[in-house]
């Protein structure tokens, strides 16, 4: 037994010490014709970038149908003082704008306060948009360029959701990850059903919620 062990040790050492065996290549063979092509993902993989604060604000202005920041501010405030919107100056730092006078750098990632700011601004935009669009001729509707029928089934919702999806996220909803349309439809229905009495009707509140869910979406804020 001992001899066998010694022999094994020797052979292992010998194997370890001698040069590695060369394995000659074998003959290549073709895939059968019926085999589907093998796809290779060669796309570079990169983390998304945060939408620059300037681009966020310009997009916001455009969605408000405003030519200037002050015009957007006025439209957001309406006649309600600071209820829905304060002043742009209150939001600049939390939106991530740099302040070169004070050497404060641009924000390159989100933080909780920025998320809160996006909510504040998103609520203002969407609430004002339902107030405006649903009482305006179709040609003048900026965000809700459709008729908000009630009741609405899932396919009718999907058609309208597609308009919003294109508006905010820049692509058709049919290309969105699975389940998105259903999630937003559920949000719509739940909001409409449970909406307490406010300035907005249940349908308006439901569409505003869908709108908020898109302007605050990671695919809106990242690119």
Partner 1 sequence: MRRALALAFVLAAANAAAAPRTLDDYRHFRALSIDLIGRAPTRAELAAFERDDFDWDKWLDSHLTGPGYVDRLTRVWMDLLRLEVGPAVTFAPPSATLRRQAITGPDGKPLNVYYRQGQRRMRDATDGEFCLSESEVGFQIVQNGQLKGTPKPVSQTALDASTVVVRPWWLYRDYLSSRPTLRLKEQWTDVDPLYQPIDELLNDPSGKPTEEIRVCREEAQTSDQGTIHASGRARPAPGTPPPEGRLRPLPADDGYAIKHAGEPISCRSSLALNMSVDCGCGLALQYCMPGESGGNDPRAFSLPTRTPLGLDQPIGSAPQTVSYWHKLWWSQEAIHFLGYIVGNDRDFREALTARYSLVNGPLAHFYKSSSAASCCSREKGFNMVQETEPLFDPARLPNDLFPSDTRAWRFIPDRGPHAAGLLTMPVFLTKYASRRARGAVLYNAFLCKSFVSPTGELPPSPEPNLMLRPGCANCHSTLEPLAAYFARVEETEWVYLPSWQFPLKNPLCKKNQQGKLPGYCEPFYDPAFSDGAQGLLRGAYASVDHAEAGPGGAAAALVADPQFASCTVERVAASFLGRPLTTDDSALLQSLTRGFVQDGYRLKPLVRAVLRSPQYRSSNNVRSSVWRAP
Partner 2 sequence: MLNRRQFIQYSSAAIALAGPLGRALAQSKQASDEFFIFIHAAGGWDVTLWSDPRNERRGIVEPASTANTDTGPIRLWQDAPLDSDVRSFQLIQPPGSRIVFGPGIGRLADFFDRLCLINGLAMNTVSHPDGTAYSATGRHLSGGRALAASVDAMIANELGLTQTFPAVSAQFPSSFAGELDRRAVPLTVERVGSIGRVLARAGAWEKPEERDSVTALLSEEADSLAARAEERGALDGFALQNGSLAKMLGGGLDEVFNENRLKTAWPQFDYKARFQGGRAVNAAFTVEAMKRNLVRCVGFALGGFDTHGNNYKTQAQVQQEAFDLIAELLKTLDTTAHPTRAGRRLSDHCHVLVMSDFCRTPQINLAGGRDHYPNNSALIISGRFKPNYTFGKSDPEQLLPLRAKRFSDGERPIAPPDLLATFLSAFAIPPRRYLRDGEVVPELLRS
Element (H, E) at 9: helix 2-17
Helix 154-169, helix 202-215: angle, nearest 10: 40
Residues in 124-183 that interact with partner 1 by CB under 8 A: 138, 145-147, 149, 159-160, 162-163, 166-172, 175
Contact call for residue 24 and partner 2 (CB under 8 A): no
Using CB under 8 A as the binding rule, the residues of this chain from 67 to 96 that contact partner 2 are: 80, 82-84, 86, 90-94
Q: Does 133 bind partner 2 (CB under 8 A)?
A: no
* Nearest-angstrom CA–CA distance, 133 and 151: 19
Name the strand (E) or helix (H) holding 154. helix 154-169
Which residue of 28, 30, 102, 193 would you call a contact of partner 2, by CB under 8 A?
Answer: 102
- Nearest alpha-carbon partner for 150 in 100, 189, 116, 198: 189
Q: What gap in Å lies between CA 18 and CA 166, rounded to an integer?
A: 66
Select from 7-15, 66-74, 152-160, 197-205 the region that touches partner 2 (CB under 8 A).
Answer: 197-205
Comparing C-alpha atoms, which of 110, 66, 114 is closest to residue 91?
Answer: 114
Q: Which of 54, 71, 99, 182 binds partner 2 (CB under 8 A)?
A: 99
Residue 8 interacts, among partner 2, partner 1, none and using kind-specific CB cut-offs from 5 to 8 Å, with none
Point out which residues bind partner 1 (CB under 8 A): 39, 41-55, 57-59, 61-62, 68-70, 73, 87-89, 92, 97-103, 105-106, 138, 145-147, 149, 159-160, 162-163, 166-172, 175, 220, 223
């Amino acid at each position: 037994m001992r001899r066998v062990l010694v022999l094994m040790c020797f052979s292992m050492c010998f194997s370890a010490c001698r040069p590695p065996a060369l394995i000659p290549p074998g003959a290549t063979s073709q895939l059968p014709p019926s085999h589907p092509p093998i796809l290779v993902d060669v796309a570079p993989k990169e983390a998304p970038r945060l939408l620059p604060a300037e681009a966020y604000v310009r997009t916001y202005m455009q969605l408000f149908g405003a030519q200037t920041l002050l015009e957007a501010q006025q439209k957001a405030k309406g006649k309600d003082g600071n209820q829905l919107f304060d002043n742009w100056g209150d939001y600049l730092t939390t939106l991530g704008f740099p302040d070169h006078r004070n050497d404060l750098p641009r924000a390159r990632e989100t933080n909780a306060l920025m998320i809160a700011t996006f909510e504040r601004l998103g609520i203002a935009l969407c609430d004002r948009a339902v107030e405006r669009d649903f009482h305006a001729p179709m040609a003048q509707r900026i965000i809700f360029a459709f008729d908000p029928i009630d009741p609405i089934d899932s396919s009718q919702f999907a058609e309208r959701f597609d308009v919003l999806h294109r508006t905010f996220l820049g692509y058709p909803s049919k290309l969105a990850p699975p389940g998105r349309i259903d999630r937003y439809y559920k949000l719509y229905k739940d909001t409409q059903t449970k909406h307490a009495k406010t300035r907005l009707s249940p349908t308006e509140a439901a569409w505003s919620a869908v709108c908020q869910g898109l302007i605050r979406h990671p695919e809106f804020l990242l690119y």
